[in-house]
Amino acid sequence: MFAEAVAKGTLPPVNQRVPREPSLAELETIGKPGGELRMLMASPKDTRLMVVYGYARLVGYTPALALVPDMLEAADVTEGRVFTLHLRPGHKWSDGQPFTAEDFRYWFEDVAENPDLSTSGLPVALLPNGEQPKFEVLDAQTVRFSWSRPNPLFLPALAGPDPMFIYCPAHYLKQFHEKYADKKTLEGLVKQAGVRNWAALHAKMDAMYRNDNPDLPSLDPWILKTRPPSERIVFERNPYYYRVDGGGHQLPYIDRVIFSIANSKIIPAKTGAGESDLQARYLSFDDYTFLKAGEEANGYKVRLWRTGPGSQLALYPNLNVDDPVWRGLVRDVRFRHALSLATNRHEINQVIYFGLAL
């Protein structure tokens, strides 16, 4: 995909686009670059799912649920309360600009601590027992967050599907910040965008999780190329993505991911008709029989994926019911144990889940 641009000199060669020490993806097989991936979505707002699926995080979970550095080269943790984050030298945003400690400083000092931009203050994961962190820039590639007590929420918040972003592309967003932008130019941008003030404009442009601003530099594997709303939304490979496979090939392999917007009620039918290459969103277990029946004829595979929640359903007896007799009964742990034992899980599995539940 990038060979022609490199040949023309409009894009640097790959060894100048990845970090000095790229993140190594442990894959079962080495893939081949190219191609498109089609998916069906029900709303232009589903662009945020590419942030979930792409899973580019400062630290991330392994399949064994261990937290390890991902975009970071290293994360040093002292006593569970001091977190020193080492960036990968040479890591760049999707527009080719360096990803540095300035992106963390700008977020912390000029966004998170700015009452116009963060009306509710710092994220909860940065406030263990209400204590604000001490933030330090140690050098261009190193930042530190520290507290007087352990903060067990910090790293998991960075690794979640809707991650806590403690950085943002400062070089892009400063043009929308009153502290850095020319006043008249900024007023013109506010008027052009049809928003009430500079803070609203900044919030609109700084949409890292919403992922609806194609001009916003990104660190994700695929970057948005279509300005929503649209019935066809295209994402293209990030030429500066930080991961490589075991053969040293820059990831991701797939050139484009294409979202086609459709009514959620007909997405299962469209999936069965072959209009999607990979589909989980807007499918439910109720669609399993229908999709399985068309598996051989339409050349796809139906796979059961383990869900993240611990259960598909749960029973919560009302411990505060008005009836005093019933209230006393459900508050007795022995009754709740008996209720659990009386639940015929095998029958539920056979009737609702075709014997496939774990």
pLDDT for the residue 315? 86
- The upper half-sphere exposure of residue 204, i.e. CA atoms within 13 Å in the direction of its Cβ, equals 15
Residue 71 to residue 104: CA distance in whole angstroms: 13
Whether cis (ω within 30° of 0) applies to the bond prior to 309 is no
Mean pLDDT (whole number) for 60-82: 96
pLDDT for the residue 62? 93
What are phi and psi for residue 82, nearest 5 degrees? -120, 120
Q: Tens digits of per-residue pLDDT, 194-212? A: 999 999 999 999 999 999 9
What are phi and psi for residue 232, nearest 5 degrees? -140, 115
pLDDT for the residue 306? 78
Is the pLDDT confidence value at 358 over 80?
no
Residue 132 to residue 117: CA distance in whole angstroms: 17
Residue 29: which pLDDT band, with cuts at 50, 70 and 90?
A: very high
Per DSSP (E only), the strands in the chain are 23-24, 36-41, 59-61, 67-69, 72-78, 82-87, 134-139, 142-146, 222-224, 232-237, 243-244, 256-261
Mean pLDDT (whole number) for 48-58: 96
Mean pLDDT (whole number) for 172-178: 98
Tokens 């669609």 sit at which residue? 287
- Cα dihedral 162, 194, 108, 141 sign: positive
pLDDT for the residue 214? 96
The SS3 call for residue 62 is coil
Mean pLDDT (whole number) for 240-248: 96
Q: pTM for the full model?
A: 0.88
Is the pLDDT confidence value at 310 over 80?
no
Give 71: exposed, middle or buried? Use CB within 10 Å, 0-12, 13-18, 19+. buried
Domain positions in the chain: 17-34+55-225+240-244, 306-358
Residue with more model confidence, 351 or 335: 335
Is the pLDDT confidence value at 311 over 90?
no
The one-letter amino acid code at 292 reads K
- The upper half-sphere exposure of residue 253, i.e. CA atoms within 13 Å in the direction of its Cβ, equals 13
Q: What architecture does CATH give domain 17-34+55-225+240-244?
A: Alpha-Beta Complex (3.90)
pLDDT for the residue 285? 87
Cα distances (Å, whole numbers) of residue 5 to 91, 251, 267: 20, 17, 37
pLDDT for the residue 308? 73
The share of the chain scoring above pLDDT 90, in percent, equals 89
Q: Tens digits of per-residue pLDDT, 139-171? A: 999 999 999 999 999 999 999 999 999 999 999
Strand order, beta sheet including 134-139 = 72-78, 82-87, 142-146, 134-139
Is the pLDDT confidence value at 268 over 90?
yes
Q: Tens digits of per-residue pLDDT, 95-121? A: 999 999 999 999 999 999 999 999 999
Question: Picking from 89-103, 127-141, 192-206, 288-302, which range would have the lowest pLDDT averaged per residue?
Answer: 288-302
Work out the mean pLDDT of the chain and round it to a whole number.
95
The SS3 call for residue 346 is helix
Question: Picking from 8-17, 213-222, 310-319, which range would have the lowest pLDDT averaged per residue?
Answer: 310-319
Residue 56 to residue 49: CA distance in whole angstroms: 12
Residue 210 to residue 220: CA distance in whole angstroms: 13
